[in-house]
Structures are given as C-alpha cells and as structure tokens.
Amino acid sequence: MIPVKLEIQGLYSYKEPQTVHFNQLTGAGLFGIFGAVGSGKSSILEGILLALYGSTERLSDRGEKGSMLNLQSNQLVINFEFLGGKNNQQTFLARYAAKRNSKDPEKVDPAEHTFYERIQGEWIPIESEPERLVGMKKEHFKQTV
C-alpha cells in the first residue's frame, strides 16, 4: 500500500478540511510528521486507520465515536486515496463519514465506511475487505506505521 492523499474534516482538531499530499512528501524517499503536542499528528494516523479499517484503537473501539467529532462540526469526513492490490497497481479510495444526530447533537449517527476503485478516471464503489486492498490486517498495519 502506498499512500497518495488524505483529506480530513471534522476529526478532533481538524474542523476545517485539510489535505495531505503524500506523493509530494515521499518524493525525497523519507518523511516524518512533526508538531507540538496536541497539533494533530496522531489524528492523521488515526484518520488513515478510520478510512481503511473503520475503527481506531484510541476511541472508537471503545464506543466513543462522538468524542472524535470536532465539537464545532456537524460531520466527520475522511477520504484516503492509496495505491494497493497486486504490486500496488490499482488506485483506491477509502472513505469514512459520520454526522452528528440532528435530533440529539450529543450523539453521532452510525458511520458510512466505503471503498472505491478508480477505473478509467472514475471512482467506482466496490465491495472489499481492507486487508485485501492494503495487503495486511489492521494489527499489522498499526505495527508498521
């Protein structure tokens, strides 16, 4: 799996849409994520985990998805574009989206977790397990990053 682009909105401190273009970062062969405590470094990795596997260790696995949504946001959207499949020859998009409940703003409605494949320039929805697309199970992915 080779990361291409990450778009985050409404996750923890990322109220406004933010985009990370990994192809610009990996051009030098190695990169790091640096910042002050609380600046959102772990949130980037957690966003990737949410997009790929639909859950994270820190909060959502414990049933606290509402606390992941920025307090001033009505929705959480993560789009993670990556190369995967055999020899990383296919382009995929993993999407995770959740909205605040319109009747009870303290609650977050069930999230939508979907995958797409780019075929002839179009994003086509696919039914697939993340392990097949990424090439590893969630536990192995966490150990790698």
Contacts of range 35-39, beta carbons closer than 8 Å, 24 or more positions apart:
38/13, 39/13
**How confident is the model at residue 56, as a pLDDT?**
78
> Is 4 in contact with 82 (CB distance < 8 Å)?
yes
**How confident is the model at residue 19, as a pLDDT?**
92
* In the chain, domain spans: 2-144
Altogether, the residues listed in the chain come to a count of 145
For the chain (length 145 residues), average pLDDT per consecutive 10?
91 84 75 76 87 76 62 87 90 93 83 94 93 88 80
As a 3-state breakdown, the chain gives helix, strand, coil percent values, each rounded to 5, of 25, 35, 40
**How confident is the model at residue 63, as a pLDDT?**
54
**How confident is the model at residue 118, as a pLDDT?**
97
Q: Which run of H or of E encompasses 8? A: strand 2-9
What does the DSSP 8-state code read for residue 109?
A: P
What pTM, to 2 d.p., does this model score? 0.86
**How confident is the model at residue 64, as a pLDDT?**
54
CATH code of the region 2-144: 3.40.50.300
**How confident is the model at residue 52, as a pLDDT?**
94
**How confident is the model at residue 58, as a pLDDT?**
64
